Structure 1
Amino acid sequence: MEARFKADLVTGVTRGKKHESGDKHVTGAATYVADRLSFANQLYLHAHLSDYAHARIKAIDTTTARSMPGVAAVITAEDVPGALDIGPVYGGDPLLARDVVEYVGQPVVAVAADTADQARAAAHAVRIDYEELRPILDIREALEREHFVLDPHRQERGDADGALQRARNRIDGELEIGGQEHFYLEGQAVAVMPTEDDGMLVYSSTQNPTEIQKLVASVLGIDMNAVTVDTRRMGGGFGGKETQAAGPACLAAVVANRTQRPTRMRLSRRDDTLMTGKRHPFLARYQVGYDDTGRLSGVIIDLAANCGYSPDLSGAIVDRAMFHVDNAYYLGDARVTGYRCKTHLASNTAFRGFGGPQGMLVIEEIMDRIARGLGLDPLEVRRRNYYDGAARNTTHYYQTLEQDGLLDEMTTQLVESADYHARREAIDTFNDAHRVLKRGMALTPVKFGISFTTTFLNQAGALIHVYTDGSIHLNHGGTEMGQGLNTKVQQIVAEVFQIETDRIRITATRTDKVPNTSPTAASSGADLNGMAARNAADTIRQRLVDFAAAHFRITPEEVAFWNGMVYLRNETMTFEALIGLAYQSRISLSSTGYYRTPKIHYDRDRAAGKPFYYFAYGVACSEVIIDTQTGEYRLLRTDILHDVGQSLNPAIDIGQIEGGYAQGVGWLTTEELVWDESGRLMTPGPATYKIPAASDMPSAFHVDLVESRPNPEDTVFRSKAVGEPPLMLGISAWCAIKDAIASVDGHRTHPVMDAPATPERVFWATRSVSDASTSRPARHAGSERHRSDRAVTE
C-alpha cells in the first residue's frame, strides 16, 4: 500500500537537515562537560607531570602540597585501590607512574583542592627526586634496536623479491611522515559524582563510554554495574578521546572515591597536549618494481610507527596503515611489514583515519616518483594502476573488491568537471613564464575500508521508547562529537515511522541505557548505531502494523505510515492516535535494537581475509602556487568528488568532506610537531603549532557527491560512511606542492621532501631540485621570459 505514496517525508533520510545541536553550537548554549553546573562541595584536580622522558623515581615529597590551602587529597600510584594499569587493549599505561617515568608529561601525582588554582599551585609544589635514564626518542634508533611495543606483522602475496628482480624499472626510497595533534576545541574533561553503594556517575568527554566505565571500575576495584558514564556531546574528538579520556576520568574517580566528594578535572591546552598522544609519526621504506608504462609489478614496503611509550591502539593502527598502503592500486606481488616502535614520548593513539592516511601517503609518493622517472603525468600513472577487472581486483590481504570500476568512473567525472587537462596546460605555460612563482596540481584518489579491523567492535545497540503522545525517546551507543551522528540517527528513525524529526529526542549516551558499546570511531558511527536504531524502530513499527491489522480487520499490507499519518485501507488516523490506541490495547511501545556487521573476518596468522564490509571512494584535485625563494605557498583551488552511497544527509556529509579535507591539508602542510633533544614537546599550543585557518583554504572550493550510487552492501538505507575517508583527500594538496617544486626542473627530478610540507621543507626541496636543474643543459632558450612577479599571489 505504501508504494502509492511517492512523496518522501521532509525530514527523513536523504534530506539535508541541519545539525540537531547546530543552533546551540553557534549561540554557545550547547552544554559540554566543563559547562555543567558545579556540584556542592566539589573538588578540582590537577596533575604533577614528569620533567623527564625516561627516569627512575627515587622519592616523592608531597609534604608542602598537602599543607597548602584548600588541598583535600594528594594521591600517588600507591593510593589507587584497584588496578593501576589503564591500557585499553594491552598493558603498559599506568594511571600514575610508580617506579619509572617514560615521557615528559607523564602524570606522577594528582592533587585535589577546593579551587582549580589551589590544585594547580599545590601540584607544582610536589617535589620528585629522579635518576635520569637514557631515553630513545628517534624512530630510527628504535627500529634498529628492535625496541617495539608489539611484535611486527606481515602481509604477503606472491613473490615480491622475484618480482623486483624481474622488473624493468626499480626505485628504492624512504619517507618520514609527521604526526598530528588532535587540537579539539574542547579539551579532555570529566566530572565525577560518588553515588550510594560506592558507585560513580561519570560525565566524560569521551568517544568510548563503555571503556571509561570499565576502567573506572577497574581502578576502583568495583563491578562495572556500579559505574554509569554519561556523554551528551564532545567539542571534537578525532580519535583523541577514544582511549586518552580514560586518564582524567580514572584520576577523578579515585579522588572522588577517596574523599566522597564530587571531583572535576579539565586539562589546560598545554597539559592536554603534553599528556596525551598524537597521530603516529611513521618512517616508511620501500622497494618498487614497475614496467615502462608505470604499472607496478612488485613492492616491498616497511612501515614503522612511532608508538610512544606504550601500545595503546598502535597494534590496530599499524594494521590499518598496512591495509591501506595500496590505496586505490593493485600492487602486484607484495610484501608489507608493520613495526610498532617504542620511544619515550607520550603514547600515540587514534586519529581520524587511524593509520590509513600514513599508509596511503607512501603509495602516492611512489606514484609521483614513477611518473617523474618516466616523464608521464602522475594522473596517468595512477589510473594505470587502479584496481580493475577480475585479474586485478584483489588486495595484498586477499580481499576482493566489489566496486572496482567506480573509482575510474569518478576520476573521469572529476577530470572533466575540474577541467584538469586545460588547467595542466595553463600551469605549464605559467611556470615557463615565471622564475620565482610556480604552480602545481595533483589529482589523487582515496579507497578507504569501512569497519573496525578488530572484528568484535563491529556491533552496536539502541533503545527506543514511544510515549503515548506520539513523541519518541531515542538512545544509542554512539557519541556525538560534532559530526552529526545524532542528526542522522534521528532521520533514520523518522524515516521508519514517517514522522518529523522534531518529535524524536536523542538523549546523552549512557552506559545504563545501551551497554557494552563500541567506540565511536572507524567511520562506523552511523553504520552501526543507525542500523541498531532502525532495527529497534522496525520492531515497534511491526508491532503497530500487526496490531492495526488485527484491530481494524485489514491485512498488514493495508497499513501504511506516511507524513505523520497512518493509512488503514479506507480511513486515516494520526500517528499519535494509533500510539494511544496501541497503549490502551497493551502493545509494547519500547524496544532495544542491535546490529553487527556481517561478512567480515581477518585471519591474522594467514594475513588474509575480508576486514572491511565495503570501501568508500573519493577523488580530489588541488592546485597550489609556491614561492621558490621563501617556500611559502597557497592553495588556489580544490575540486572534490566523494562517494557516500545514498547519503543520509547531504548537507552534513558535505560538511564532513570539507572539514576532513581541511584537517588532512593541515596534517600535511602546517601542523608540525617538534620535540627537543630531551624529549620535551616544543609545540604545545597555538603559538607554536599551526592548524589550518579559513585563510589557508582555497578560494575556489568545489565539493560534489557521487549521485545514483547506493551502497551495494546492506547498510542503513544504502548509505556509506563519511567520517574518515575525506581526510585523505588532503593528500592531493601535498602532491600538488611537490608538483610545483618539480616544475623547477621540468618535472625531471622528484623532490625529496618529508611530511609535513612546511615552508622550510618546501624551500630546501626546491633548492635541491634547482641544483639538479643547473647541472643539466637548459631545456630551451628564452629564459629571458622568466620574471619574478610576486603580485600574482595577491
Structure 2
Amino acid sequence: MTALDTKPTIKGGVHVPQKHDSGHKHVSGRAEYIDDMIEPAGTLHAYLGLSQCAHGEIETIDLDAVRAATGVVGVLTATDIPGHNDVSPTGKHDEPIFAEKLVQFWGQPVFAVIAETREAARRAAHKAKITYKPFDHLGDVAAARAAGGAVVTEGMKLERGDVAAGLANAKRRLKGSVTIGGQDHFYLEGHIAMAMPGEDDEVTIHSSTQHPSEVQHMVGHALGVPSNAVNVIIRRMGGGFGGKETQGNLFAAVAAIAAKKYNRTVKIRPDRDDDMIATGKRHDFVVDYEVGFDDDGRIEAVDAVYAARCGFSSDLSGPVTDRALFHADNAYYYPAVRLKSEPLKTNTVSNTAFRGFGGPQGMVGCERWIEEIAYALGKDPLEIRKANFYGTDKRNVTPYHQVVEDNIVGRVVEQLEVEAEYQKRRAAIIDFNKTSPVLKRGIALTPVKFGISFTLTAYNQAGALVHIYRDGSIHLNHGGTEMGQGLYIKVAQVLADAFQVDLDKVKITATTTGKVPNTSATAASSGSDLNGMAAANAASQIKARLVAFAAEKYSVPEDAVVFEPNCILVGNQRFDWADFIDQAYLGRVQLSAAGFYKTPDIHWDRAAGKGKPFFYFAYGAACSEVVIDTLTGEYMVERVDIVHDVGKSLNPAIDLGQVEGGFIQGMGWLTTEELWWDDKGQLRTHAPSTYKIPLASDVPKIFNVKLADWSANKAPTIRRSKAVGEPPFMLAISVLEALSMAAASVADYKIAPRLDAPATPERVLMTVERLKREAASQ
C-alpha cells in the first residue's frame, strides 16, 4: 500500500509514441523468423516441382530421377494427399495443391520433393521429366475477353440513379480506358512453413501467414482431420501486405502432408524466383468508362466496367474486384452511377489480396476520369476534384447506397493545399515548363477516402486471451498477426491503458489457433480495430471481477475502486498493482478472460448492391512534385507532402511509419514495378534483377508527413482511432498524376495525357512522344 499523496504515472498506454516491440530486433538481426528457428533433429526439407506449361494436359510424368537423387527421401503428388487436394479459400474447390492432369499456369505445383537438405530437394526438383499437350492460353484481360470473357467468380454491379438519362442530358461527355498494372508483394521474408507431427492425428505448424485459422482449416482438409488436430503458430512475418492471407495455405499443406507421411518435421521455403512465379499478386485491371459532366466539371453520371486478370482460380478475386467498385468513387459524389466488375479467368497464377485489396485500382480509375475532365475544360485537376467532393444532404450517398456521415476530406485537402503551398508551386512549375525544353515538372494533389471493414461481414470479429499472473505480470494473446506493422505493440498499449500499468508489464505472445480460435485474417486495415477491442473486452471482464472483489473485501462501494497508474485505489487506501493482484489470487478471483468483439452496425447485400459495408472512412491527401526528362522518360519524385487521418492515433510513431511506408510501396506500384509474361505465359520478372521495387534512393528528396492530429473517429472504435494499414497506399496516386501533368506540358496541357500504370520511364517517354505527335497534328 502506498501513500495517497503520491502522484504515480505509467510508462506506456495509448495516444503516445512507443517504439515497435521488435524494432530493435529487426535492425540487429535478432528477430526470430521461421527460418531462424532451431530445427528439430531429423528435419526434412520440401521443394516444389513447378509446371513449365501455361495451359495444357500432362501426357507423361517421370519422377524416377527425382526419387533417385542424392538425399531424397520421397516425392509427393496428388495421390499422396490423404484428404482433399484443394486449398481454395472461397470453398469453390478450384485450387489444387498439386495439378493432377490439367495444368493452368506456368509455375503451377505438380509435385514436391522431400529430402534431407533443402539444397538436395531443390536440385532434385529440376530432374523431373514431364511432357504436356499444350492448349491455347489466355494471358491478359484482352485475351480473356476475346475468348468469351469467362470469369472465375460472379462479378458485381453497383447502381444508383438513372445513368442513361444522366449521360444523355449531360452537357459534356467523354469515354476512355485505363490500364493499371499488377504488383508483386516482394516481402523480405518469402513464404515458409514448418510442420511438426504429433501423436495420433495432431500436427503443429509454424506458418508465415496472415490468417492462421484458414491455414488450420486448409491443412485439416488436406490431411482429412478435424481442425482441433491442427495448431498453427506465427510470431511474426517479414512482410505480408495481403499476400500471406491465402497464399501460405499451399506451403503449410505440403509441409503438413509430408510431416505426417514421414513422421518427421518438414520445412518448405522456396527460392525468391519460384516464390514469385508460383504465388499470386495484385490484380492488374483494365477500366473502361464513360462520364457525363457540366461546364464546371461537376460529374452528372458515370458508367464504368472494371475488368481484372484474376488467374486460373477464384482465390480472393471476387472480394478484390468488389472492393475496386466500392472505391471507384474515391472522395467524389456521382448523381447517377453504374459500376460493373469482370473477374476474368486467365492462364496465369491466381492473383490475390494486396494492400488496399482492389481499392487502389478503383481509385486510379476514377482519378483518370477526373483528370480527363480537367484537360477537357482546361482546368486544374484539383479544381475538378474539389467540385466533386462528397458533401451533405443529397450529395453524400455512395454508389452502394451508404451515407457518408464522417466526411472530412475537404478539411484535409484544404490543410494540405495551404501547408504545401500548392497553388504557388503549381504556378511556378507552369512557368518553368515554358522555358525548359527537356526537363518538365509536374505537381498533383489527390485525396483518399477509404472504407474500413471487411466486406465479408462475418470477418469483422476478433478474439483475445488475457491472463494476469500472481506477480501482476500480464500475458496477451489475440488473433491478429504481426507482419512488421506494429499491431502487437498497439494492442499491448490498449491493455496497459485499460489496466493502468506500465507497458513492460504486458507480455506479447505469438498468435496461435490453440489459444484464440476462429480468427479473421489480419487484413482490411482492421487489425487494431478488431483485436484492440477484443483485448479491451477481456480487460473489462477482469477489471469487473477485481472491482467486485475489492468492494466486498474492503466494504466500499464499487465506484470507490479506481484503477490508477500501477496501483488500485480502494476507498482511502492505495495498493500496489502486484500486491493487489496477489490479494485477488488469494481471494480466488479469476484472473483470466477471453475477450471478443464484433463490429456493430454494418451489413451488406451483394446481390442488391446495397448496404453499409463500412464502419467508417479514413481520409488523407498527398501533394507530389516530379521532374521528368523528355528525352529518356526518366524522372525523380522531388517532394511529397502528406496529411493523413488516423483518428486519435493509438501510437503516432507507428502510424507515421505506416503512412510513409504505404506511400512508398504505392509509388513503386504506380511507377517502377512492372510484371511481364512472355508469349509462352512464363513470368519473366521474377527476381530483383528484373523487377524493380523502390530503393532508399527513390524516397522523395523532401518528404513531409503529418497526421491530422485534430481528427477523432466519430465511430466508437478503440480509443477513437482509425485504421492506417491500407489507406496511405493510395496517396501515391498523386505521383502518377504529377507525372501526367509533366508529360502533358509538351502539348501545352491541351491533351489528356492518358498515362497508364506503371508509369515506367519507357511508358513516360512513349506518352511524351505521343502527345508531341498529337499536338503537332492539331
Match of 2:483 in 1: 481
Match of 1:12 in 2: 13
**1:408-452 Cα shifts (integer Å, max 9, x gaps):** 011111111001111111111111120111110000000000000
What secondary structure does 2:547 align onto? Answer: helix
Match of 2:723 in 1: 721
Q: 1:246 aligns with which of 245, 249, 263?
A: 249
Residue identity opposite 2:54 in structure 1:
A
Q: How far off its partner does 1:769 sit?
A: 1.4
1:146 correspondence with 2:149:
yes
Match of 1:53 in 2: 54
In 2, Cα distance between the equivalents of 1:428 and 1:396? 36
Match of 1:286 in 2: 289
* 1:91–1:311 CA contact under 8 A, matched in 2: no
1:345 correspondence with 2:348:
yes
In 1, Cα distance between the equivalents of 2:156 and 2:764? 34
In 2, Cα distance between the equivalents of 1:141 and 1:218? 35
Q: 1:553 to 1:345 in 2, by over 3 A?
A: same
Residue identity opposite 1:209 in structure 2:
P
Residue identity opposite 2:698 in structure 1:
D
Match of 2:321 in 1: 318
What secondary structure does 2:390 align onto? Answer: coil
In 2, Cα distance between the equivalents of 1:427 and 1:477? 50
Q: 1:658 aligns with which of 657, 660, 671?
A: 660
1:354 correspondence with 2:327:
no
* 1:5–1:562 CA contact under 8 A, matched in 2: no
In 1, Cα distance between the equivalents of 2:644 and 2:665? 16
Match of 1:308 in 2: 311
Q: 1:262 aligns with which of 261, 265, 283?
A: 265
Q: How far off its partner does 1:151 sit?
A: 2.0
Residue identity opposite 2:406 in structure 1:
Q
In 2, Cα distance between the equivalents of 1:5 and 1:389? 51
In 2, Cα distance between the equivalents of 1:143 and 1:328? 30
In 2, Cα distance between the equivalents of 1:470 and 1:576? 4
Q: How far off its partner does 1:9 sit?
A: 3.8
1:422 correspondence with 2:427:
no
Q: How far off its partner does 1:7 sit?
A: 8.9
* 2:48–2:270 CA contact under 8 A, matched in 1: no
What secondary structure does 1:316 align onto? Answer: helix
Match of 2:235 in 1: 232
Q: How far off its partner does 1:8 sit?
A: 7.0
Q: How far off its partner does 1:68 sit?
A: 2.0
Match of 1:386 in 2: 389
Match of 1:41 in 2: 42
Deviates more, 1:330-339 or 1:705-714: 705-714
Q: 1:607 aligns with which of 579, 604, 609?
A: 609
What secondary structure does 1:765 align onto? Answer: helix
In 1, Cα distance between the equivalents of 2:72 and 2:93? 32
Match of 2:182 in 1: 179
**1:727-779 Cα shifts (integer Å, max 9, x gaps):** 00000000000011111222111112210000001001111112233345xxx
Q: 1:712 to 1:650 in 2, by over 3 A?
A: same
Residue identity opposite 2:522 in structure 1:
T
What secondary structure does 1:372 align onto? Answer: helix
In 2, Cα distance between the equivalents of 1:409 and 1:208? 37
In 2, Cα distance between the equivalents of 1:709 and 1:5? 34
**1:555-614 Cα shifts (integer Å, max 9, x gaps):** 222222222121223221111111000000000000000000011111112110000000
* 1:281–1:305 CA contact under 8 A, matched in 2: yes
Residue identity opposite 1:466 in structure 2:
I
Deviates more, 1:558-567 or 1:473-482: 558-567
**1:268-290 Cα shifts (integer Å, max 9, x gaps):** 10010000010000010000000
* 1:304–1:338 CA contact under 8 A, matched in 2: yes
In 1, Cα distance between the equivalents of 2:9 and 2:308? 48
* 1:164–1:297 CA contact under 8 A, matched in 2: yes
Match of 2:88 in 1: 87
**1:101-120 Cα shifts (integer Å, max 9, x gaps):** 00111010111010111111
Deviates more, 1:140-149 or 1:197-206: 140-149
Aligned ranges for residues 167-566 of structure 1 at < 5 Å?
167-404=170-407, 406-566=408-568
Give the TM-score normalised by the residue count of structure 2: 0.98
**1:142-175 Cα shifts (integer Å, max 9, x gaps):** 1241211112221111111111111100010001
Residue identity opposite 2:58 in structure 1:
I
* 2:451–2:616 CA contact under 8 A, matched in 1: yes
Match of 2:625 in 1: 623
In 2, Cα distance between the equivalents of 1:40 and 1:156? 60
In 2, Cα distance between the equivalents of 1:103 and 1:655? 37
**1:207-257 Cα shifts (integer Å, max 9, x gaps):** 000011011110110111011000000000001100000111101111111
Deviates more, 1:439-448 or 1:535-544: 535-544
* 2:155–2:318 CA contact under 8 A, matched in 1: no
Q: 1:241 to 1:727 in 2, by over 3 A?
A: same
In 1, Cα distance between the equivalents of 2:163 and 2:6? 58
In 2, Cα distance between the equivalents of 1:66 and 1:759? 47
* 2:295–2:377 CA contact under 8 A, matched in 1: yes
What secondary structure does 1:110 align onto? Answer: strand
What secondary structure does 1:135 align onto? Answer: coil
What secondary structure does 1:59 align onto? Answer: strand
What secondary structure does 1:181 align onto? Answer: coil
In 2, Cα distance between the equivalents of 1:149 and 1:240? 19
Q: 1:428 to 1:655 in 2, by over 3 A?
A: same
* 1:320–1:354 CA contact under 8 A, matched in 2: yes
1:691 correspondence with 2:704:
no
**1:316-361 Cα shifts (integer Å, max 9, x gaps):** 0000000000000001201000011000000000000000000000
Give the TM-score normalised by the residue count of structure 1: 0.96
Match of 1:792 in 2: none
1:158 correspondence with 2:171:
no
In 1, Cα distance between the equivalents of 2:8 and 2:281? 47
Aligned residues: 772
Deviates more, 1:567-576 or 1:179-188: 567-576
What secondary structure does 2:200 align onto? Answer: helix
In 2, Cα distance between the equivalents of 1:402 and 1:738? 33
Residue identity opposite 2:773 in structure 1:
D
Match of 1:749 in 2: 751
Match of 1:77 in 2: 78
Residue identity opposite 2:548 in structure 1:
D
Which blocks of at least 5 consecutive residues in structure 1 are unaligned?
777-794
What secondary structure does 1:640 align onto? Answer: strand
In 2, Cα distance between the equivalents of 1:362 and 1:399? 21
In 2, Cα distance between the equivalents of 1:124 and 1:143? 35
In 1, Cα distance between the equivalents of 2:541 and 2:237? 31
**1:346-388 Cα shifts (integer Å, max 9, x gaps):** 0000000000000000010111110011011110100000000
Aligned ranges for residues 569-648 of structure 1 at < 5 Å?
569-648=571-650
Residue identity opposite 1:766 in structure 2:
V
What secondary structure does 1:174 align onto? Answer: strand
Match of 1:780 in 2: none
In 2, Cα distance between the equivalents of 1:6 and 1:166? 69
In 2, Cα distance between the equivalents of 1:573 and 1:250? 51
What secondary structure does 2:394 align onto? Answer: coil
In 1, Cα distance between the equivalents of 2:646 and 2:488? 18
Deviates more, 1:505-514 or 1:545-554: 545-554
**1:34-86 Cα shifts (integer Å, max 9, x gaps):** 11111111111011100000010122211121122221111111111100011
In 2, Cα distance between the equivalents of 1:32 and 1:212? 18
Residue identity opposite 2:332 in structure 1:
Y
* 2:534–2:596 CA contact under 8 A, matched in 1: yes
Match of 1:97 in 2: 99
